[in-house]
Amino acid sequence: MKIHTAVKRFYFLFLLFSFTQNHAQVIEKIYKPYIATAQLYGFGNQQQLPIYTLNSKEPIQLEFDDLEGSLKSYYYTYVLCDYNWQPANLSTFDYIKGFTQNRITNYRYSSYALTRYTHYEAILPDANSLPVKSGNYLLKIFLNGDTSNLVFTKQMLVVDANSVVSAQVVQPLAPQYFKTHQRLDLSVLLPKDMNAFSAIQQVKAVILQNNRWDNAQRDVVASFQRNNTLIYNMQNVGLFPAGKEWRWLDLRSFRLQSDRVDSAHYFKKSTDIFLKPDVDRTGQRYVYFPDYDGMYNIISYESINPHYQGDYATVNFRYAPPDAKPYFGQSLYLSAAFTEYKPDDRWKLHFNDTTGFYETSAYLKQGYYNYQYILQNDGNPSSQKTLEGDYWETENSYTILIYYKSFTDRNDQLIGISQVNSRRDRPGFSF
């Protein structure tokens, strides 16, 4: 079958990256290059973490596209993990009630779109396959009932909320962080039937900024305990660079070009979109505007259901470095939910000596996207920095996850979740 040139290029980069990274521990990963726009989110809200409450009727929604366009037999299963996403030492039958494998039966062939694809979706959990333990779950999608033939993986949470988590965003007191970072003060009221004697050793907190696992703070331990309440208020706990409101890209229509679009080329079976050049925002003053906190929303002006009627386009990004010169000893990457925040070759921008721009392309579905740029020192992945700047006033969302594991338990229980916002939930300030 004939595939768009941009998809072929993506295939090559995907395979190259897979060979060089096959020993790395990656939780969320796409193993097949023809999979696009894989989403797992709280039902009806594409920006919501995939959280299922035990014994509730609040489902999770799975969506993805197969760009090869044919009908395939996709299955899914769950793997229970500890708080740090290592597989739990339990049998699947210990944490799943019912079938351990399920076939995805809901699909639609694309319509009203130049791009041919098959859209698959599922509502989780199915009544015939229910998680019975709280914790972190890795959702595995695979082909033809063969669990070794992985297609992609996604992270989800199952909570049994029997603790009360209170949190607020505060401005750090340390001078070096006062204007650039945000910090969380939090407390956890444990259930009365829990043995509070050793709670500090048995309870762990994990803090996410904007639903991201790549920069999560793990192993967060309470500062002290007051009766059945754990208090977390040390200056280095829950400390995050605040960043800036994310760059945006409106692709809800390929015909009605938004402010960020420089030009578009329309072909019989494809569309190429060229964006206006971006620049370093580090020195620009802070201005608030609503964003998706790095995420994206599949939506289209020209279709009723954008999930199977939305089209794809090759979107060309351009970044103008200072003085039109490349960064010495550093590489530039796109970073966003659609890149899984991973600085790999698929999202690396390359300097064009002729134009003086860093350039790359992405194959994106109609929707509204957030993104940013990061610089990384060559050979040092831990040296990442954004080209956006950090401002204490920036709007960010935070999720606090509370895990409990007694000395006799074999898995970490997720016993509490709280979500706060830096503009709504901080002292003396709310919108």
**CATH architecture under which domain 5-159 falls:** Sandwich (2.60)
Residue pointed to by tokens 């192993």: 219
DSSP per-residue codes, 53-86: ETT-S--EEEEEEETT-S---EEEEEEEE-TTSP
How many CA atoms, within 13 angstroms, populate the side-chain half-sphere of residue 100?
9
DSSP per-residue codes, 225-249: EETTEEEE--TTTTEEE---PPEEE
Q: Which fold, 164-242+393-421?
A: Immunoglobulin-like (2.60.40)
Mean pLDDT of the chain: 91
3-state secondary structure of 301: coil
Pick from 317, 244, 330: nearest CA to 281: 244
H helix and E strand count, the chain: 4, 31
pLDDT at 381: 81
pLDDT tens profile 339-377: 999 998 999 999 999 999 999 999 999 999 999 999 999
Q: Low-confidence residues of the chain, pLDDT below 70?
A: 1-26, 428-431
Domain boundaries, the chain: 5-159, 164-242+393-421, 247-386
pLDDT at 233: 84
Residue 204 amino acid letter: K
Torsion of CA 50, 55, 56, 57, to 10 degrees: 90
How is the chain split among helix, strand and coil, in percent rounded to 5?
Answer: 10, 45, 45
CA distance 43 to 62: 9
Asked if 5-159 and 164-242+393-421 have one fold, the answer is yes
pLDDT at 429: 55
pLDDT at 24: 35
